[in-house]
Structure 1
């Protein structure tokens, strides 16, 4: 499977996030930093996720997409638009409860600002774990099904992230 790439662009407050290939957690810290900077712009008013080139999207990336959708809705924006013709991705979005946060369309679009590759830095293990944890907490907050699905993973990550609970710091 083609390794993943996140491409981003913006024009007059409309942000395009294009996912290409198999998008996995190794891109998550750069993507999360982009999300924070995107919402700092006063002109932000809409976001489009173009998944036409995506072959796979992991749960961490889905959690960050949910984070974007929630923050956009909190700002009074319309539901973000997800463009995809992939039935598997559409089914995954539906099964995870994204219908409350996004609109899905199979249309193809041209953009005023062509998305460019997001500059990705390799995250350190701790930073990556924190982003994975945050993304899955967002997914859990969406509905009970997601809460049940990701509960064990989140508890495991929380234990790994807690330095007081690590074997090297326990008193014997």
Structure 2
């Protein structure tokens, strides 16, 4: 019995598949049908298979994923991306030949995959500038955001002006 599942999303011709937990053959029928539909689409731009939360994957699932990689290459001249953090899953996928049809990003290699961003040099001024810039950007997106964030931005601008005044005239503070 499978204790995992497959999640799927698509945006502007890019397809995302997330294999979560222990995924076995019985979870593949809907995936296989979906792949057949994708193969028929003309606007396919890419595909990403995320195995970062996969704890077990059987050969049927690997075969369906191989089919995805092969079909995208043949029908759309696209090489899909496979992302993995589990060395056992990565080894299994590579041993089955998925590296021939996918760009394999092994997250065990720190040069390839995601890393946690470390907050460095957090000063009041840097934080103020970042928050102010982010909210100004949101305000530019639409009138609703303009109305929502305008009071905050004005307050942050006052704070920024006060901070600049303290830096220029430290004795007046």
Structure 2 length normalisation: TM-score?
Answer: 0.59
Do the aligned residues in 2 keep the contact of 1:19 with 1:51 (CA within 8 Å)? yes
Computed over aligned residues only, the root mean square deviation of the Cα atoms, in angstroms, reads: 1.9
Deviation (angstroms), 1:30: 1.0
Task: Map residues 71-150 of structure 1 onto 2, 5 A cutoff.
Answer: 71-105=71-105, 106=107, 107-108=113-114
Moved more, 93-102 or 44-53: 93-102
- What are structure 2's unaligned runs of at least 5 residues? 108-112, 116-173
Distance apart, 1:2 and its partner CA: 7.8
Runs of 4+ in 1 over 4 A off after TM superposition: none
- Contact 1:7–1:18 (Cα < 8 Å) also in 2: yes
Aligned to 1:42: 42
Separation (CA, whole Å) in 1 of partners of 2:89 and 2:14 = 23
Aligned length, in residue pairs? 109
User: 1:10-89, aligned counterparts within 5 Å?
Assistant: 10-89=10-89
| Structure 1 stretches lacking a partner, 5+ long | 110-172
The answer to which structure, 1 or 2, has the higher relative contact order (CA under 8 A, 6+ apart) is 1
Give me the TM-score of the superposition, normalised by structure 1: 0.59
- CA deviations 1:117-163 (Å, max 9, x no partner) are xxxxxxxxxxxxxxxxxxxxxxxxxxxxxxxxxxxxxxxxxxxxxxx
Larger Rg: 2
Separation (CA, whole Å) in 2 of partners of 1:82 and 1:30 = 20
Give 3-state SS (helix, strand or coil) of 1:65's partner. helix
